[in-house]
Amino acid sequence: MSAATRPILPTPALAVERLALLSRLTEGLPPAELYWISAWTAALAAQATRVALPAVSPAEAANAGSADRLTVLYGSQTGNSRRVAERLAERATAAGLNVRLLRTGAYAVRELAQERYLALVISSQGDGDPPDDAIGFVEFLNGKRAPKLPQLKFAVLGLGDSSYPQFCAVSRRLDARFAELGAQRFAELGEADVDFEVPSAGWSEGVLAKAREELRAPAAATANPRPVALHAVDSTQHGREKPYAAEVLENQRIVSRDSAREVRHIELSLQGSGLRYEAGDALGVWPSNAPALVEDYLRALRLDGEQEVTHDGRRLPLSRWLTHERELTKLSRPLLAAHAAASGDAGLARALEPEQREALARLLDTHQPIDLLRRHPVSWNAEQLVAALRPLTPRLYSIASSPKLVGEDEVHVTVAVVNYHAHGSEHFGAASSFLATAGDDTRVPVFVEANERFRLPQDGSSDIIMIGPGTGVAPFRAFVQERQATGAAGRNWLLFGNRHFSQDFLYQTEWQQALKDGALHRLDLAFSRDGAAKTYVQHRLKEKGRELYAWLREGAHLYVCGDATHMAKDVHEALVEVAIAHGGLSDEDARGWLAELLQKGCYARDVY
């Protein structure tokens, strides 16, 4: 890295000679290795688990990419694939194997031709799409530049949701593509539904057993196990499986009384939790189902909430299962299938047929399980009900604060409350309703979900463009706070949209103050219901296309947050049109340019 391109950093707390040594040590390192150094030193500073690094001889260094290494890759949108990959890598490391762990977005695809053993854990999103961080990897593997791989032994695990027609579509395609390129499976393709823990553990066990047979472990493995390369180990006392009970500091409505939707700004205390976050991360929330909804289930099925139910080796009262352990607000394909079989309802069974794909999607989107129980009665007993319902899962909310401005012991989120009338009754969103009613006497179980692919540029002089309609604006509140706190010199451009200016302009006074203070340099708005024609953020992008394209060509980083089903796709198509109109690119070249920005991390999305 030349002096001209080296990022401008704050004044270091290092002696000049140490800074010079650090500069020499990092000279020429690729981004993935620099990210690892950053994560490792941050872990040391935070008193994370310290791993004794073994002495590495020149011969070992030369063989770092040899046949003795297992590379574990993951492509993850919500963190589940990452966690499965981490566990596999940790177990393989403990077994004495030479392992490195990487997210697909940080993997140098040119190394694929030298890989010998590769395990890939990847999720499928929406209509069979890869996670954003894996788009570049998937496109490379499916493209003309992908090398023949006769030397490679591979294993693929897919995570998905069987309620969607394209269940595990990405992993299936990649598994077939690896084989097409001449690679050999050392484990069969694995697939895991929303309840991914058991099937993913079984797949990982098979991969580990085969890897131990195939790979040579270092002689001193048991005495001095190698660390997982390119991966920092965090030892904070709280996490996804052991959330922190956060105190509510503030919970206020941030839309007008006239708004048809309720959106709340919630501030939580992390004091004493050991949890740390960065702008761009998400806060995981373990919700409790509303008491009224639990009562609806008990009433509809004529069950006793005090009845003890044993499931998966645990014995709890039925009301406890329904309140804290089971998913009550999301209808899934497996539950629909079980209910159709139990009821003998031909109409429900027909909805599960392959040609009924669109009808099934509408049914799952517009109905909750309670609607099924009411409209198609079945005499579930308590044990059957608990077994049929999916486990309750945490919800992720983009963090709306920067720890550099509000402090490390505080975190903010922006929550759109799901509460509507349908099929003759009120319906609730599990987490949003739980958070909406959280008061001084409530403790909210939370954890931090790192989002490595949604980070501000390291170079504070880089410009950023933020596209966040609705509650998608949340992480950009954190971004603007962060850039203000660090004195970043780059310009900040926000495009925000919602229904009505007077009712739904989230954080309006903050954005106006940021413009006045120079923390925000440009703000473009799109309120879809205020004019004769509906105007969305993608329309503003095309209107401002010349300036937008110029910013991007000059190195600006682009961020999109919000709805994945419609908004993110419409925004992407608008960007293609902008590149064609103002860059003179063909449709193919415009899409290739955006794919390159995604791969380089200059175009990042946090969509759901």
**pLDDT the model gives residue 232:** 40
Residue 8 banded pLDDT, cuts 50, 70, 90 = very low
Q: What is the CA radius of gyration of the chain?
A: 25
Confidence at residue 52, expressed as pLDDT on a 0 to 100 scale: 37
Write the DSSP string, 350-376: HHTSGGGHHHHHHHHHH--HHHHHHHS
> What pLDDT digit, counting tens, does each position of 358-417 carry?
888 889 989 999 999 998 888 889 999 999 999 999 999 999 999 999 999 999 999 999
Whole-angstrom Cα distance, residue 396 to residue 285?
6
Are 279 and 478 a contacting pair, CB within 8 Å?
Answer: yes
- Residue with more model confidence, 310 or 61: 310
- Reported as a single tens digit per residue, the pLDDT across 256-303 is 999 989 999 999 999 999 999 999 999 999 999 999 999 999 999 999
State residue 187's pLDDT score. 93
- What are the structure tokens assigned to 567, written together? 């908004």
Residue with more model confidence, 225 or 211: 211
Q: Give mean pLDDT, residues 161-187.
A: 92
pLDDT value of position 285: 98
Exposure string over 523-548, b if 16+ CB within 10 A, otherwise e: ebbbbbebeeeebbbbbbbeebbeeb
Q: Which helix (H) or strand (E) holds 154?
A: strand 153-159
- DSSP assignment of 22-69 equals HHHHHTT--HHHHHHHHHHHHHHHTTPPP-PPPP--HHHHHTTTSTTE
- The per-residue DSSP string of 191-244 comes to EE-SS-HHHHHHHHHHHHHHHHHHSPPPTTTTTSPPPPBT-PPP--S--SSS-E
pLDDT in tens, 70-116: 999 999 988 899 999 999 999 999 999 999 999 998 898 889 999 99
Give the integer Cα–Cα distance in Å for 246 and 248.
6
Q: Which domains does the chain have, with CATH numbers?
A: 1-45 (no CATH), 60-214 (3.40.50.360), 244-287+394-449 (2.40.30.10), 291-388 (1.20.990.10), 464-607 (3.40.50.80)
Render pLDDT for 105-129 as a digit per residue (tens, 0 to 9).
889 888 999 999 999 999 988 777 8
Question: Quick one: pLDDT at residue 5?
Answer: 37
